[in-house]
Structure 1
């Protein structure tokens, strides 16, 4: 199922977050760290089935640039230089609606593996 239309994007550099607003009146504040560790890039998602790569040490990452890709996605450049993977509007909506579950799963994986959120 496709997400509602994306109607606004606001980058909050000082807060290191991206605010996205959708036509169904949903508004999500997506922290840069959350976006970085859930990047849709093959580098993070992996090249096959499974949970993907566990990205650690990104607590202080910020967003340095946003580039629209047509009318369907954003390319996000992070302060650590990562800029691959396109964040489709559908994916941003999923990251917003499933934030609590996805974030807790990430924290659980991180705790089990031992790496830290701090750089």
Structure 2
């Protein structure tokens, strides 16, 4: 097993905020129902954004946090329970948006809520 270290993290949160009370109203549910059932008070909705554009923004933030340049990484792995489209994979769409100066292998790991754990296990081997 290789030694793997998380050197930086990044995130992207869409601007459109939806709280549970708004969701209750839209779905014609009793006030407080969505929060009580899910435990989630606030969600964020991506209007006109795709997984790859949000992933590229998060990747750039992670690279900055790690003090790395895009061309210093070995692979782009998109770990998600949902995909933007079947073909090409989301990781290759992220690769396209990042526009590295050299080809970087890119692939998806789609294993529901366990995608990050699965992807991390795979890159450790």
> Do Structure 1 and Structure 2 share a fold, with TM-score over 0.5?
no
Larger Rg: 2
Between Structure 1 and Structure 2, the one with more strand by share is: 1
TM-score by length of 2: 0.23
Between Structure 1 and Structure 2, the one with more helix by share is: 2
Higher relative contact order (CA 8 A, sep 6+): 2
